[in-house]
Structure 1
Amino acid sequence: MKQMDRRLLILTRLREETAFRAADLAEECECSVRTVYRDIDALCQAGVPVAAMPGEGYRLAPGYHLPPIAFTVEEAVQLLLGSDLAHGLGTPEQREAARSAAAKVEAALRPDTRAETDRLRHRIRVSDWMRREPTPWLSLLQQAVANDQVLWLQYHSFSSDELTERKVEPYSLIFYGEDWHVVGYCRLREGMRDFRASRIRDAQLLPERFERMAGMLLAEDRSRSTPEEVRIWVEQSAVPWARETPAFGFDREEPAEGGAVLVYHAWDLRRLLPWVLSWGASARVLSPAHVADRVHREAAALAQRYADA
């Protein structure tokens, strides 16, 4: 980290209400404690009133205010791109907050910085496709995660293809795979589960609160089943495109004659089979044998569908 960036980070931390120890600042800045001492001394010499709190650490003296932050072009572009992304991911209230924040960033830019930022934003931008309506349950899910409230869900499970009612203790809300996911403890299944928002058919926020348990991670619950390693050969002409859109459970790629072998850790073969079949004759399951046989039977059934076409 550059010296100026490090001192700005230290200054930002010292603005917070909690005092920071030199060791904590050194860890965050990835430098030595001695370097932190030198940086704090330099800030003091520059007129920044850093107060040393015995037994607590450092913080800024009460009543001290930093001057307005001057964004670089790169910083402004990244912040505004993030605001554009938020338009397609958040609730209506959050989209409005993102627009308001973007306006404040733009208002804080110097004229020359604003002109260059505008020029780049016309060339580097977020597609309008991202500006779609998210799940109707997003606001409710966020409230449940923020306030540790139990959720009642009517959920269409992919693995069992069943519509079930669940009571869930939501630990986190994560966006990946083009959708929001609630990760939490399912009282019906008695374990941590991942609930895709688009599969929620109905949801209610219950008045009951739950107490978070330390170490409750989704990964730890994988012990309920063991993933199966599936090796799939893909011919060379299709490798770049298969690499671009891997199926769920992708682990690694290995070189192979005439192409590459993509190795998957599959908990549910139904997630993997459509991906394999989508590549037609350009892909072939090498192992295990029962998966190759399953693909063979699916391909034969597909051919039969078109026998009279």
Structure 2
Amino acid sequence: MKQMDRRLLILMRLREETPVRASDLAQDCECSVRTVYRDIDALCQAGVPVASMPGEGYRLVPGYHLPPIAFAAEEAVQILLGIDLALGLGTMAQRDAARSAAAKVDAVLLPETREAVARLRERIRASPQIAGELSPHLPLLQEAVVGDRVVRLRYHSYEPDRVTKRDVEAHLLVFYSGDWHLIGYCRLREDVRDFRAGRIESARLLDETFVRRKIDDGYDPGDMEIEVRIWIDERAARWAREDLAFGFVSEEPADGGFVFTFRVRDVPRLLPWIFSRGAAARVLSPPELVQRLREEARALVGRYPDA
């Protein structure tokens, strides 16, 4: 923990009504007791009146008030729910940072607000899940995105099924469809590409930096090249809406069901979603996707020959 963050956390803990022991502060800050003593001394030199209570610990002198951070209970819950999401989607270091942030939020709440927040959090929870394991390359990808760095990837493409080496200008990290995705300019394809973190076999940060491009629309479904229209029967439509594939644009009623429209860069990425609908789905366009489904269906039937 950085010195400024550590001292801010100590200051927040000292606001509590009961004294705090140096050993408890050291545990919260993940530092030595000696470091806590130095930090408290620095706070005193800065004009913060810290009272030492023998056998009990430290606290701010009664009557001294820091400018309040007045979170309403609902505001605090939303912040803490966001932190819960970070706990579920981040690396170990990111989870530690999230826990530290949660402690800081809790420390500045008024007692009555803290009680209301505790009640709300018992009833409102966020439990995000990653499909598979969290990519070990996530910290490196984050460093690349923050530092405008080029990253060299060995990436396992879905279609075709092979591994290629890519030098990517790392622009964005986005979480959707159960995994983190790196959005960046691929120098091999000379275009903006979406790299699913779980498919990255290796990643290396290059010394090279880049000038950021305007790529916000590079992964927007409205700017994808291929339009796909899929009819889903009425009974299955509600379940399809709960698990929409990436690239969804719109839906409209038609013939006892609904037509779902997607825009994608390549049609194979929609195959798993279509097959999961079973006979309740019928692809209307494009023709190449219809043909690909026929081929996959024949191969599937071939797995189960008649006895």
Aligned to 2:277: 279
Per-residue CA deviation, residues 142-183 of structure 1 (Å, 9 max, x unaligned), is 111222222111111223322111222212222222222222
1:168 corresponds to which letter in structure 2?
V
Kept in 1, the 8 Å contact 2:221–2:247? The answer is: no
Distance 1:182 1:78, change over 3 A: same
Aligned to 1:244: 242
Structure 1: distance between partners of 2:267 and 2:132: 31
Unaligned runs of 5+ in 1: 1-64
Structure 1: distance between partners of 2:126 and 2:219: 36
Distance 1:242 1:131, change over 3 A: closer
Structure 2: distance between partners of 1:131 and 1:94: 19
Aligned to 2:303: 305
Aligned to 2:109: 109
Aligned to 1:159: 159
Per-residue CA deviation, residues 191-232 of structure 1 (Å, 9 max, x unaligned), is 22222111110111122222334x244529999x97333322
Aligned to 2:34: none
Aligned to 2:170: 170
Structure 1: distance between partners of 2:253 and 2:74: 38
TM-score in terms of structure 2 length: 0.71
Q: CA deviation at 1:134?
A: 2.6
Q: Secondary structure at the match of 1:104?
A: helix
Kept in 1, the 8 Å contact 2:153–2:165? The answer is: yes
Per-residue CA deviation, residues 238-263 of structure 1 (Å, 9 max, x unaligned), is 11001111223221111122211112
Q: CA deviation at 1:83?
A: 0.9
- Report whether the alignment pairs 1:269 with 2:267: yes
Distance 1:126 1:222, change over 3 A: closer
Distance 1:124 1:146, change over 3 A: same
What percentage of aligned pairs have identical amino acids?
Answer: 56
- Report whether the alignment pairs 1:191 with 2:191: yes
Per-residue CA deviation, residues 233-286 of structure 1 (Å, 9 max, x unaligned), is 211111100111122322111112221111222332211223222222211123
Distance 1:151 1:78, change over 3 A: same
Kept in 1, the 8 Å contact 2:224–2:263? The answer is: no
1:199 corresponds to which letter in structure 2?
R
- Report whether the alignment pairs 1:72 with 2:50: no
1:233 corresponds to which letter in structure 2?
W
Structure 1: distance between partners of 2:82 and 2:146: 22
Distance 1:218 1:126, change over 3 A: same
Kept in 2, the 8 Å contact 1:277–1:299? The answer is: no
Aligned to 1:255: 253
Q: Secondary structure at the match of 2:90?
A: coil
Kept in 1, the 8 Å contact 2:220–2:247? The answer is: no
- Aligned pair count reads 243
Unaligned runs of 5+ in 2: 1-64
Aligned to 1:234: 232
Structure 2: distance between partners of 1:259 and 1:145: 42
Kept in 2, the 8 Å contact 1:170–1:182? The answer is: yes
Distance 1:82 1:177, change over 3 A: same
Structure 2: distance between partners of 1:209 and 1:263: 38
5 Å-filtered alignment, 1:1-309, equals 67-127=67-127, 129=129, 134-213=134-213, 215-217=214-216, 219=218, 227-308=225-306
Q: CA deviation at 1:301?
A: 3.1
Per-residue CA deviation, residues 101-154 of structure 1 (Å, 9 max, x unaligned), is 111111211222111111110110122756996311111111112222221111
